[in-house]
Chains A and B, each alone.
Chain A
Amino acid sequence: MKAVETTAPAPAVAARPRRPARRGRAVAAAVTAAALLAAVPLVLGAYPVSMMTRMLAFAVLVLSVDLLTGITGMPTLGQAAYFGVGAYTAALVGVHLTSDGAVQVAAALLAGLAAAAVTGWIAVRAHGIVFLMLTLAIGESVHQLADTWSLVGGGNGLAGMPPVSVLGTALPAAGFVYWWVLAVAAAAFAVVALVARSPYGRTLRGIRDNEARMRALGYRPGPAKFGVFCLAGAVAAVGGALWAAQVRFVSPGDLGFEVAALALLSVVIGGSGTLWGPCLGAALVLLVRDNLSAHVGGHGALVLGAVFVAVVFTMPRGLAGLARRPRRTEARS
């Protein structure tokens, strides 16, 4: 029954330890989690491993949403677009150029960065709900593009991607693909964690908490927001490339609104103050979506809706982070 404690494919490392004393424990937890995660393919069968591979890829997308929503306070519904850009780029590279996983990830990263740079300057001018709507518009437009553009297969999607290879060795079995995805996801996690703890991360949290005050301190929030938007686009695209490496198929459904909404939901469920929380949220959301459903008699949404309501009333602080972003009422005075 080792599976139980490994259902959480997220390195349990605190995003920013507050006191040095905690750092040691956080490192120990991270090492333990990494070791457990790395051992998964030795223990579990192909399906659970492929599922955890997707969870890891999705967790990378969720990290990018957390970077924007949890750390910078910009709630987004558009990250699936960059996830999709990454997935399509990786699949195109896989179909037409090379099955080398590193090349696919690198190409996806650059494509995501470029896509975010092109669209981001529009989005970061807005705040709160308007930002949310603009990212939604970007997401829907990119989805529409994928749905109608024959070069990427249109609505039928892009199939025929060969198994991903690393260092010249093809990885046909689920377990090896898992290790590859785990390695890249861990790297992405490390990068995001570094950014979150850096002075830049502090700047972003300042923008989240009180953008007006940042300006009064002499900051120019615009470029800082644009920068994190591009970074988040690149991270999401890496997630997309990892997703494509496992599924070996990309379709417009992968960058649809549903994916964006689930990613945002993961951040909220996981608690957006930390990085490991949303990763855990990502795993939970995919687990529920793809597996946990046999016993709800078809009407689980009733239960779920009630749970939502109950959560709000019983643990209003449990879903911190997003709630801490500046509210309109505070902006007035």
Chain B
Amino acid sequence: MDTYLVTVLNGLAMGSLLFAIALGLSLVFGMMDVLNLAHGAIYLVGAYVAVALTGDGAGPAMFVAAVLAAAAAGAVLGGALAGMTRATPHHLDQALLTLGVALVVAESLTVVFGSDVHSLAAPAPLDGGVQILGQTYPVYRLLVIAFGAILALVVYRLVERSRLGAVIRATVADRAMVSALGIDTGRVLVGVFAAGAALAAVGGVLAGPILGAQPGLDEKVLLLALVVVVVGGLGSVRGALLGAVLIGQVQALGVALLPEYASFLLFAAMAAVLLMRPAGLLPAPTAVRA
């Protein structure tokens, strides 16, 4: 039993990371109907920023600097993407556009950092492990869980309780209506795009000590984030959170309980959810669908 508790804990750590990464993808899709295929590449930018700044084993100050630098880089990329996609009318074209940006970004990273696998150490004071239920558990992952919990609270308050959040939710539900009310949805969209991308890049830094950085990681992360978003429901913060926690547990607890079927668990879970609830578990409320 104790084993499974630690596994659940670990699923929460992965869920926290997934939440940070998937949130931006979900909100951008919900608000703009843009499937941002560059999201994984932005994550990878964050991971490589961490490689560049913290290398192997740096202090907390450098780690925080990496987080900030990644957030800035992510925000810039996200803002640029928002501007480019807004200048493009069709959704498929927008997806192609983000794919083009993803190619450029990911290839640039390979040019700069090479195709070897890079790994990162957690900042020095968090590099060790603690005893939980008689098992060694990396302290750093506890920090990731804490980060995920705080992020969830902050975002929840921001999106569900503040005026800005009301505008965001309303934009997801019915963009035309919000525009008609005289609110500049453009600025909101760019802001959310940039913030979502910044979060993805920060996710890259935070996941660095766990997943490292290597070419191809962007695709794996994008795929996971897509699954989270689809399972949770497009455009909703609570959906992204639930989806992230669920997928985190499927990959941890599910694997622990059903190791023989580990390969199929992720997609089986997704298919099961979509069969029961085609719009995902907690989709954003939208305007009347005729």
A residues with a Cβ closer than 8 A to B are: 122, 125-127, 129-130, 133-134, 136-138, 140-141, 144, 147-148, 212, 268, 298-302, 304-309, 311-313, 316, 319, 322-323, 327-329, 331-333
Contacts and interface: CB of A to CB of B under 8 A. Distances in A.
A304 B286 contact: no
A305 B264 contact: no
Interface of B: 29, 33, 35, 84, 87-94, 96-97, 99-108, 111, 174-175, 223, 226-227, 230, 234, 263-264, 267-268, 270-271, 274-275, 278-279, 286-290
28 contacts: A126-B274, A129-B29, A130-B274, A133-B270, A133-B274, A136-B223, A137-B270, A141-B264, A141-B267, A141-B268, A148-B263, A301-B103, A301-B107, A304-B103, A305-B99, A305-B101, A305-B102, A307-B100, A308-B96, A309-B104, A311-B96, A312-B94, A316-B93, A319-B92, A319-B96, A322-B92, A323-B93, A332-B289
B287 A126 contact: no
Say whether chain B's binding surface is mostly helix, strand, loop, or mixed: helix
B100 A306 contact: yes
Contacts of A302: 103-104, 107-108, 111
Nearest to B223: A136
B290 to A, nearest CB: 5
Contacts of B174: 332
A122 B271 contact: yes
B275 to A, nearest CB: 6
Given A305-B104, A306-B100, A331-B290, A319 B274 contact: no
Contact of A133 (B100, B230, B264, B279): B230
A328 B287 CA distance: 11
Contact of B274 (A134, A306, A316, A323): A134
A147 B274 CA distance: 25
Contacts of B108: 302
Given A144-B263, A312-B97, A125 B275 contact: yes
A126 B234 CA distance: 14
A137 B268 CA distance: 8
Q: Tell me which of B99, B111, B175 has the highest count of chain A C-beta atoms within 10 A of its own C-beta.
A: B99
A131 to B, nearest CB: 9
Q: Tell me which of A136, A268, A305 has the highest count of chain B C-beta atoms within 10 A of its own C-beta.
A: A305
A138 B267 CA distance: 8
